[in-house]
Structure 1
Amino acid sequence: MKSSAWPAVFTVPRFTYDAELKLEQGNTAFKTRGILLSPDPKLKISILDGLAEEIVKYKVYPSDAEYDQVAAALVQKHPCLKERGSVTGYSGWKASLKYKLGNYRTKLRNLGCTEVAVNSVKHKPGGISSPAYNVKKPRKAEVNYCPPHPQGETEETLEAVRKILLNEVKKKNNEKNVRMLMDKSFSIRRHEVIKEPLIADFKTRWPALFRTEEVCAEFERITTIPLVSTFFAKLDGYSGKLMKMFANRGGVLGQRIKNLLVPTTRTDDIEVRRACIIKSLCAYLNEDPSSLVWEYMVSMCFLKCCCIFKDA
């Protein structure tokens, strides 16, 4: 299971020794005489292989923006690789990188990597030839889309862990053991999720997952991003613009929003401010804030946020 999210700044790795020598000579020629390097096939393969190996440390299905980020980082570190006639200077590298990742995924699939093998035709039931049949498609944010089982574990041993978890979740003040078992059984749970089971059946098999704390923990296991802190950080970043938007709203709705924002004038508590902003946003979108909070409390178990909104 991968533990690192996609980096804010992609670091281009060191390539093979001979490739680094060629790039060093090319960068020197570019700085002194402005000559761009035309990489030979061996050098280009070495560069693309190195980038592909670095990318799959984070995810095997990068987004288009992430391909842009990698290609831009490459020509920034090695300016001699910039392309003539390209607006960005790296569009060709980006296209080549996409093909390389596709071929690299095929190699991983042949080696039995579950993250990509699950999308192959031969893994589909009933001889269906469609690669997407009855299997959840990978999303760009899913760092751990279909991780392999932990070393030494099999489906049988993890199924036994799941059955133990059914008893542990019934005990009071047992969050630590539940979290440990949920971490251990993550891979088999993801293998079930990508087959898109019925929610009712899945909830019966994994009741612990529908606890408040486990919703957040599972999100972090899948994306390596903490859910609550990221949500509030983004909310705080947009709060200024949202407040301006609310202030420009007139009429009956504008007055209703002003009433919802009254608590922010009485205290500097950041939680009160967040709650009022979300309630006001609901009103701005002609939604009932109390209904929205109730929906989250019932169906998503996002109680930490909801309690804050409800008490403001």
Structure 2
Amino acid sequence: MAQTIYSFKPYPSNTDLCKASEALITAHPCLKELGSKTGWYGWKVSLAFKMGNYRQKLAKSGCAEVSINAGKRSKNNPDSDHPHANIKRARRSEVNFLPNFPTGENQASLDLMRLEIIEETDKSEKNLQFIEKLMQTTFALRRQDIIKSQLPVKDLLRSWPALQLESQVLSEFHRITNVNLRSTFYAELDRHTPRLLNLYRQKAVRTGKLAEALRATLAAYDLQEEHDVISRRTLSLCALPVYLREDGSAFFQTFNEEEEPDYHDVPLALGITGADPFSCKKFTVVIEGNAVFNEVPTIPDSFMLLFGLTYVFNLEYPKSLLNTFTMIQKMFVCLDDGKPLKPCLMTLKEDLLLQ
């Protein structure tokens, strides 16, 4: 049971263990506990201990995903971190969070491949297939730099410059989640956009600051000569934080064309060069003060790349837009981590799924 549960989740939640215990007595009724309300509570407690013991054995054998959390405070290590503090584990439906090195490879051999990637990326005519092959092989080493060493994004981009290629951001996201980011994001966004636009207009006719802010965004959209798919996607994404009552002023960094953008000390942002996101033709994806992508043609592409990079670099969602990014994760990218939605997000989800 522990081995099977681990194949799905190394660190199962209480709900996961409850479901596994219930499935156990359903498949084997003879194991049902007599005199128990559920018939499986004792099995849940037992499985929690079994999972701990199984992870301990894997950590001793060198399994990277669990050994990274070994060596916490104990009798022999009284000065170490608390056993439950800063546990490095998948939190947003990551499938390959911290894999082991490929068979027959070690850190030295993978580091040589990393140098080959740097050399190939510096060329004016890049061999994208060769870069893809090397990036796939060195995935485990890269995740150790990101998860284990927790290097700043600036250093990671210097060590792994291929992560500034759009194709590699999409490939890396697929390696981590097994989800095709571009196709899933745009398919779900286009599916929900008509309903989102109706909700925005319904809210905009009311009174209050929220309605006023929505009216301003809708007015900029209505001024466009052509309401094509890109402008509808832009409206859906730009009005979403407003609809969820979140402050996106620090996230959307707007500059004049003559003004030199200053992204110093900006943790996560989209740089907009121009008056508004509908007329702007140049967007910048900013992470930890670094312009990772310059001159992205549309704001939907910018959102998609920025969301992908939060997984690639294992970044937290911006606190001011936590609900917006959670909604994108669960509704537009279909990565459900099993955590319950906040009431405002649950209401929006029900409204979107309402036929």
Structure 1 and Structure 2 fold alike (TM over 0.5)? yes
Are 1:191 and 2:130 matched, yes or no? no
Q: Hey, what's the Cα distance between the residues in 1 that align with 2:294 and 2:17?
A: 37
Are 1:99 and 2:53 matched, yes or no? no
Identical pairs, percent = 32
Matches within 5 A, 1:201-280: 201-232=155-186, 235=189, 239=193, 242-246=196-200, 247-249=202-204, 250-251=206-207, 252-260=212-220, 262=222, 269=229, 271-280=230-239
Deviation at 1:212, TM superposition (A): 2.1
Q: Hey, what's the Cα distance between the residues in 1 that align with 2:195 and 2:38?
A: 31
Q: Hey, what's the Cα distance between the residues in 1 that align with 2:22 and 2:228?
A: 42
Point out the structure with the larger helix share: 1
Q: Hey, what's the Cα distance between the residues in 2 that align with 1:232 and 1:77?
A: 40
- Deviation per CA, 1:90-128: give whole Å up to 9, x if none: 443333222211110011112222221222218xxx996
Query: Residue 285 of structure 2 aligns to a residue in which SS?
Result: helix
Question: For 1:307, which of 298, 311, 322 is the aligned residue?
Answer: 298
- Deviation per CA, 1:110-154: give whole Å up to 9, x if none: 2222221222218xxx99633779987223333323211111111
Q: Hey, what's the Cα distance between the residues in 1 that align with 2:90 and 2:33?
A: 31
Deviation at 1:60, TM superposition (A): 1.6
Deviation at 1:158, TM superposition (A): 0.6
TM-score, structure 2 as length reference:
0.59
Q: Hey, what's the Cα distance between the residues in 2 that align with 1:234 and 1:82?
A: 42
TM-score, structure 1 as length reference:
0.66
Question: For 2:88, which of 137, 148, 154 is the aligned residue?
Answer: 137
1:263, 1:272 within 8 Å by CA — same for their partners in 2? no
Query: Residue 300 of structure 2 aligns to a residue in which SS?
Result: helix
Deviation at 1:185, TM superposition (A): 0.6
Q: Hey, what's the Cα distance between the residues in 1 that align with 2:188 and 2:44?
A: 29
Equivalent residue letter for 1:190:
R
Equivalent residue letter for 1:258:
L
Deviation at 1:64, TM superposition (A): 3.7
Matches within 5 A, 1:103-142: 103-121=53-71, 129-130=80-81, 137-140=88-91, 141-142=93-94
Query: Residue 298 of structure 1 aligns to a residue in which SS?
Result: strand
**Alpha-carbon spacing, 1:96–1:192, altered in 2? closer, same or farther (3 Å):** same
Query: Residue 147 of structure 1 aligns to a residue in which SS?
Result: coil
**Alpha-carbon spacing, 1:137–1:167, altered in 2? closer, same or farther (3 Å):** same
Are 1:161 and 2:120 matched, yes or no? no
- Deviation per CA, 1:8-65: give whole Å up to 9, x if none: xxxxxxxxxxxxxxxxxxxxxxxxxxxxxxxxxxxxxxxxxxx222222233223344
Equivalent residue letter for 2:180:
P
Point out the structure with the larger strand share: 2
**Alpha-carbon spacing, 1:82–1:135, altered in 2? closer, same or farther (3 Å):** closer
Equivalent residue letter for 2:271:
W
Partner of 1:287: 248
Are 1:60 and 2:37 matched, yes or no? no
Deviation at 1:68, TM superposition (A): 3.7
**Alpha-carbon spacing, 1:304–1:117, altered in 2? closer, same or farther (3 Å):** farther
**Alpha-carbon spacing, 1:237–1:73, altered in 2? closer, same or farther (3 Å):** farther
Query: Residue 287 of structure 1 aligns to a residue in which SS?
Result: coil
Larger deviation: 100-109 or 189-198?
189-198
Gaps of 5+ in 2: 255-268, 273-282, 303-355
2:25, 2:31 within 8 Å by CA — same for their partners in 1? yes
Question: For 2:130, which of 168, 177, 180 is the aligned residue?
Answer: 177
1:142, 1:222 within 8 Å by CA — same for their partners in 2? yes
Q: Hey, what's the Cα distance between the residues in 2 that align with 1:235 and 1:181?
A: 32
Equivalent residue letter for 2:2:
A
Query: Residue 271 of structure 2 aligns to a residue in which SS?
Result: helix
**Alpha-carbon spacing, 1:133–1:68, altered in 2? closer, same or farther (3 Å):** closer
Are 1:297 and 2:288 matched, yes or no? no
Deviation at 1:283, TM superposition (A): 4.3
- Deviation per CA, 1:135-186: give whole Å up to 9, x if none: 8722333332321111111111111101111101122242211111111111
Residues paired across the two proteins, number: 258
Aligned CA RMSD, in angstroms, stands at 3.9
Gaps of 5+ in 1: 1-50
1:261, 1:280 within 8 Å by CA — same for their partners in 2? no
Query: Residue 157 of structure 2 aligns to a residue in which SS?
Result: helix
